[in-house]
């Protein structure tokens, strides 16, 4: 079996790594992307022309153009949980298997979220910047997390883990999920000192954090986004910050390139922003890389791998299954 690894030289160390590469080579011949640029569309298909599978970094989406131009391709393995950049219908139409990884980044994202809460509550970044500017940092009272209320919008794996950590710190937790019964969204918004967005991104949840949602939050509360930028009406968030209704915000995602924060918001003094690095730890990245290794191993052994999302339409892998 021959596999094309789309990770470029810049993304490879942080998002795949040598240990996963060694493990992958035990099951397949590997062709690596030799450049910094992430390939897509016909260019990706051309680079993987004689390969049976592509392991795709997020910079290489699974587009209809790629699948159309790849007559030999049997499988497109997304080295992440999010497959929103993969045209599954187009892959299915060509008989190509699509897979996704399991989330290995839960603790990493939760830890960043806790760091955001501490920073917002105690003005850590503000003090650092004042000192770095050469002046004396202003002394202001902060909010103690113990006894404060965390509001979770979305209650999946990350949110459940964050709830555990928050309760261990003495926080009260309110949770609303658009797809499950829990607290009403209004209860979460009006009752929380920190509203953290962890909902799934769907057409129905687009801009669910809008002007009305921010107005419903208690004055002086903080907003944190660790999910997807499209969940937030950023114009409304900026207005809520500008008016002083919200005391601050933190975000790891936004409307910038590749889900990075909006530069206008990120530049504000009352905003803490990181460039979509919530799950970027060696342990989290290797977990997902190793998932793709296990999927290639399964295919090489003639099995449908865990994480397959369209196995019933993937007729190109059937010769592998028959060989087994």
Are the beta carbons of 46 and 20 closer than 8 angstroms? no
The answer for residues whose C-beta is within 8 angstroms of residue 32's C-beta and 6 or more apart is 4, 5, 7, 12
Residue range 179-238, pLDDT digits in tens: 776 789 999 999 999 999 999 888 999 999 999 999 999 999 999 999 999 999 999 999
117 and 78, same structural domain? no
Token duo for residue 137: 């940092």
Residue range 230-262, pLDDT digits in tens: 999 999 999 999 999 999 999 999 999 889 999
116 and 92, same structural domain? no
231 and 82, same structural domain? no
263 and 117, same structural domain? yes
CATH of the domain at 24: 3.40.50.720
110 and 98, same structural domain? no
Q: In terms of Cα–Cα distance, which of 197, 214, 193, 198 is closest to 145?
A: 193
* Rounded Cα gap, residues 177 and 151, in angstroms: 11
268 and 315, same structural domain? no
Q: In terms of Cα–Cα distance, which of 201, 242, 251, 244 is closest to 223?
A: 251
Are the beta carbons of 187 and 176 closer than 8 angstroms? yes
Structural domain tally of the chain?
A: 2
Q: Average pLDDT of the chain?
A: 95
219 and 92, same structural domain? no
Residue range 283-323, pLDDT digits in tens: 998 999 999 999 999 999 999 999 999 999 999 999 988 76
pTM over 0.85: no
245 and 152, same structural domain? yes
- CA 276: distance to chain centroid? 7
Predicted confidence at residue 84, as pLDDT, reads 86
* Domain region containing 89: 2-104+281-323
317 and 250, same structural domain? no
């Amino acid at each position: 079996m021959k596999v094309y690894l789309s990770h470029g030289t810049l993304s490879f160390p942080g998002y795949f790594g040598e240990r996963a590469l060694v493990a992958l080579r035990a099951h397949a011949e590997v062709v690596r992307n030799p450049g910094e640029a992430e390939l897509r569309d016909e260019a990706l298909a051309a680079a993987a022309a004689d390969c049976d599978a592509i392991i795709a970094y997020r910079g290489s989406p699974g587009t209809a153009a790629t699948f159309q131009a790849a007559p030999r391709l049997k499988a497109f393995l997304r080295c992440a949980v999010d497959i929103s950049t993969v045209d599954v219908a187009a892959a299915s139409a060509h008989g190509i298997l699509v897979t996704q990884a399991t989330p290995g980044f839960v603790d990493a994202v939760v830890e960043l979220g806790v760091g955001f809460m501490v920073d917002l509550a105690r003005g850590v970044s503000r003090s650092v910047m004042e000192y770095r500017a050469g002046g004396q940092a202003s002394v202001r009272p902060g909010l103690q997390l113990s006894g404060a209320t965390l509001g979770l919008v979305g209650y999946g794996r990350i949110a459940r883990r964050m709830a555990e950590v928050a309760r261990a710190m003495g926080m009260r937790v309110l949770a609303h999920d658009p797809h499950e019964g829990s607290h009403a969204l209004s209860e979460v918004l009006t009752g929380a000192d920190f509203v953290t967005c962890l909902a799934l991104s769907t057409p129905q949840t687009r801009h669910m954090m809008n002007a009305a949602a921010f107005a419903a939050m208690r004055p002086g509360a903080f907003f944190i986004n660790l999910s997807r930028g499209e969940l937030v009406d950023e114009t409304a968030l900026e207005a809520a910050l500008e008016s002083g209704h919200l005391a601050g915000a933190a975000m790891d995602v936004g409307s910038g390139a590749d889900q990075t924060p909006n530069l206008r918001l990120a530049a504000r003094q009352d905003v803490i922003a990181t460039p979509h690095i919530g799950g970027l730890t060696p342990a989290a990245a290797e977990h997902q890389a190793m998932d793709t290794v296990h999927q290639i191993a399964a295919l090489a052994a003639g099995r449908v791998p865990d994480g397959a999302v369209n196995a019933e339409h993937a007729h190109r892998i059937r010769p592998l299954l028959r060989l087994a």
